[in-house]
């Protein structure tokens, strides 16, 4: 498995694809990240065309087991961020 792309590498590739400098590419990336964070934390969802949908899902209260002791513990309800991958991306990876 290849190493994940770092933020620096992502900004450099984005700047190259956009035909702009790294400062503008970094600002664009930060703006997108901020927008996604605000929307998902507010209970909404964001669809990135060709990539997937990022959304927040609520998990109910449940019983979990402490692996060290085997003790059953009640875990409170919480929220988790999920991402559904777009079919186009799946097909390009598998095909």
Q: What is the 3-class SS of the chain, one letter each residue?
A: CCCCCCHHHHHHHHHHHHCCCHHHHHHHHHHHHHHHHHHHHCCCEEEECCCEEEEEEEECCEEEECCCCCCEEEECCEEEEEEEECHHHHHHHHC
The domains located in the chain, with CATH, are: 1-42 (no CATH), 45-95 (4.10.520.10)
Q: If you average pLDDT over residues 58-85, what whole number do you get?
A: 94
pTM confidence score: 0.78
pLDDT per position as a tens digit, 26-62: 999 999 999 999 999 999 999 999 999 999 999 999 9
Average pLDDT over residues 87-92: 94
The mean of the pLDDT values for the chain is 94
Identify the pLDDT of residue 95.
Answer: 82
């Amino acid at each position: 498995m290849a190493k994940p792309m770092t933020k620096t590498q992502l900004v450099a590739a984005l700047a190259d694809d956009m035909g702009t400098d790294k400062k503008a590419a970094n600002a664009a990336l930060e703006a997108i990240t901020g927008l996604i964070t605000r929307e998902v934390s507010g209970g909404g969802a964001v669809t990135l065309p060709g990539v997937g949908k990022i959304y927040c899902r609520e998990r109910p209260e449940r019983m979990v087991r402490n692996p060290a002791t085997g003790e059953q513990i009640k875990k409170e309800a919480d929220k988790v961020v999920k991402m559904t991958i777009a079919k186009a991306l799946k097909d390009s990876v598998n095909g």
